[in-house]
Amino acid sequence: MKKTLFTIVALIALSCVSCKSPAPSDTKTSVDTTDVADNSVETIQFHSSDLAFFGLHGHVKTVTDDGVTSLEFDPDGVLTAVYGTPASQRFNRDNQGRIVEMNGYENHVEYEWGDERPVGSEAQAEGMSMKESYTYDERGFVVEIKHTDDGDESVETFTYNDVDKQGNWTKRTSEGYEYAAGTTTRVIEYYD
């Protein structure tokens, strides 16, 4: 029961975050040029702390995981809904506009930020506590999560099987964490 509860908290924490508030202070747009098959392709990269929180790139509108719309963003890159629930009902930000807390029905998660993205979290649920630390690759994808629960430690690793033209993963496989192992497929819709 305890592991199941923390698995649910961990999945929500990893999948969800943010609140409807003014755009994060770090929202910006830049133009990148990439060589693809002997042709130079110019893409507009859109950045915000909410997109960084999820390891997303580009001007993302929605993310659909395994057929269910999980994340919705406004044109400024601010998360507006998580699984259909207004983000403002569950998330708190710091003075830089970054997501720092998630309040669930029976849980509370606090996030620790590094330079550009969360590096860890601590979840409280029904009197229990679980800590996580995140390791990223050069693309900004989570490649490892260390879970610590009452002194027990487990490690979950991620492999990214498919990536779209904006540099976002569309299929990944997780291993090592008993309740979250498996493959996730997602579709990302972008603003024009």
DSSP annotation of 88 reads G
Which residues touch 138 (CB under 8 Å, ≥6 apart)?
none
DSSP annotation of 24 reads P
Please give the residue that has the higher pLDDT: either 20 or 9: 9
| Dihedral of alpha carbons 154, 110, 180, 142, sign | negative
Residue 10 has pLDDT above 70, yes or no: no
Whole domain around residue 68: which residue ranges?
Answer: 2-190
pLDDT tens by residue, 154-191: 999 999 999 999 999 999 999 987 666 789 999 999 99
Contact 47, 77 (CB under 8 A): yes
- Write down the pTM of the prediction: 0.74
Which residues touch 130 (CB under 8 Å, ≥6 apart)?
6, 9, 10, 122, 123, 147, 148, 149
CA 96 to chain centre: 18
DSSP annotation of 14 reads H
Contact 66, 184 (CB under 8 A): yes
Any idea how long the chain is? 192
Please give the residue that has the higher pLDDT: either 23 or 91: 91
Q: Tell me what pLDDT residue 9 has.
A: 41
Q: Residue 114: exposed, middle, or buried by beta-carbon count in 10 A (0-12, 13-18, 19+)?
A: exposed
> Binning pLDDT at 50, 70 and 90, where does residue 89 land?
confident
- What's the total number of domains in the chain? 1
